[in-house]
């Protein structure tokens, strides 16, 4: 079976590796253009591109796949990509966190199936892992689905569930779901080859949308309940990193838990080796791992050695 693969970040690279190691022929890999990254803002290839080039796979990086794009360069690149896909002998396109919209013209060339990190129809959209943790979901999973023009609305081919542990962050859950998705897509394609896959429409009930995470969401509002803030800390780890301001200094929070406590929201109730306890709208938040600007992530005991919180509040 010949598979065209479209994806960009590490979540997708795990799936690409699984397909490659399972012996599927991959005549083309689509990924987003290189982006500036790091302190030096040097152009950096996506995780998918890095894996593809390391294993001799052809790579294309169009700015868009929409041939009707208003920008001439985007439209030209889309036409070139469309012609390339039409000229290639392949059976199916597998898409995972690609980041570009696949228009009808692309979907019509060959079957397109998607690896999505949620239990559809819950958490359609860009940030299903973040939103599942932030909302306090007890489980999530991976859905393999047929693609159509709607946002993650296509019929489901297979689904597996995964519990969300109390200690899970977006980073740890991402890795679990990526591994699950890699295994599932290999199994799904083998079943497709054998004619054993059946598409099931998504239910109309239970639809939610996982909006893209904005950096402005990372600032914690201590008037909210502590359990809500604890989930946000986990959901925004590693990106964009939950934070608060102490005496004008933005401090990032990497690990926190809800505890008993009462006081004016943002007031420091306790600060010792056991953590920094900050009053919230309901209960209190114990901050266990923090980071000052330009510094390293530190346990509370180490953080307090260079930061006096006496009389200060978080806001």
Say if residue 9 carries a ligand binding annotation: no
Beta strands in 83-181 (DSSP E): 92-96, 112-116, 124-125, 139-146, 156-163
Residue 146 Rama label (left phi>0; alpha psi -120 to 50; beta): beta
Cis ω on the peptide bond leading into residue 121 (within 30° of 0)? yes
Q: Give the C-alpha separation, 73 to 311, whole Å.
A: 57
**Residues 6 or more apart whose Cβ sits within 8 Å of residue 96:** 5, 6, 7, 11, 12, 15, 16, 114, 115, 181, 185
Half-sphere exposure of 34 (CA within 13 A, CB side): 10
Say if residue 119 carries a ligand binding annotation: yes
Q: Give the C-alpha separation, 275 to 258, whole Å.
A: 12
3-class SS letters over 238-276 = CCCCEEEEECCEEEEEEEEEEECCCCCCCEEEEEECCEE
Residue 153 sits at the vertex; the CA angle it makes with 59 and 149, to the nearest 5 degrees, is 55
- Specify the long-range contacts of residues 126-130, CB closer than 8 Å, at least 24 apart: 126/210, 126/211, 126/212, 126/213, 127/210, 127/211, 127/212, 127/213, 128/210, 129/170, 129/173, 129/174, 129/177, 130/170, 130/210, 130/213, 130/235, 130/236
Q: Give the C-alpha separation, 190 to 22, whole Å.
A: 10
Say if residue 120 carries a ligand binding annotation: yes
Say if residue 111 carries a ligand binding annotation: no
Residues in binding site: 118-121
Known binding residues for (6S)-5,6,7,8-tetrahydrofolate: 118-121
């Amino acid at each position: 079976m010949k598979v065209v693969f479209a994806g960009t970040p590490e979540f997708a690279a795990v799936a690409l590796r699984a397909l490659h190691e399972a012996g599927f022929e991959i005549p083309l890999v689509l990924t987003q253009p290189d982006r500036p990254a790091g302190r030096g803002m040097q152009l950096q290839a996506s995780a998918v591109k890095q894996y593809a080039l390391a294993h001799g796979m052809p790579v294309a990086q169009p700015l868009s796949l929409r041939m009707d794009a208003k920008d001439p360069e985007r439209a030209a690149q889309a036409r070139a990509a469309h012609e390339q896909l039409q000229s290639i002998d392949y059976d199916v396109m597998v898409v995972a966190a690609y980041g570009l919209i696949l228009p009808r013209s692309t979907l019509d060339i060959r079957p397109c199936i998607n690896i999505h990190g949620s239990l559809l129809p819950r958490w359609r959209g860009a940030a299903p892992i973040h939103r599942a943790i932030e909302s306090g979901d007890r489980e999530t999973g991976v859905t393999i689905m047929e693609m159509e023009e709607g946002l993650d609305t296509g019929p489901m081919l297979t689904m597996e569930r995964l519990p969300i542990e109390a200690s899970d962050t977006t980073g740890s859950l991402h890795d679990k779901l990526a591994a699950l998705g890699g295994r599932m897509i290999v199994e799904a394609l083998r079943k497709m080859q054998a004619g054993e896959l059946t598409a099931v429409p998504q239910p109309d009930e239970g639809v939610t949308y996982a909006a893209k995470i904005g950096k402005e969401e990372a600032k914690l509002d201590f008037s909210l309940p502590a359990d809500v803030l604890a989930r946000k800390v986990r959901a925004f780890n590693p990106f964009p990193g939950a934070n608060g301001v102490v005496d004008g200094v933005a401090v990032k929070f990497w690990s926190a838990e809800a505890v008993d406590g009462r006081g004016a929201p943002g007031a420091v109730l306790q600060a010792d080796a056991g953590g920094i306890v900050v009053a919230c709208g309901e209960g209190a938040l114990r901050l266990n791992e923090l980071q000052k600007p330009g510094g390293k992530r530190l346990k509370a005991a180490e953080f307090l050695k260079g930061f006096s919180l006496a009389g200060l509040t978080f806001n």
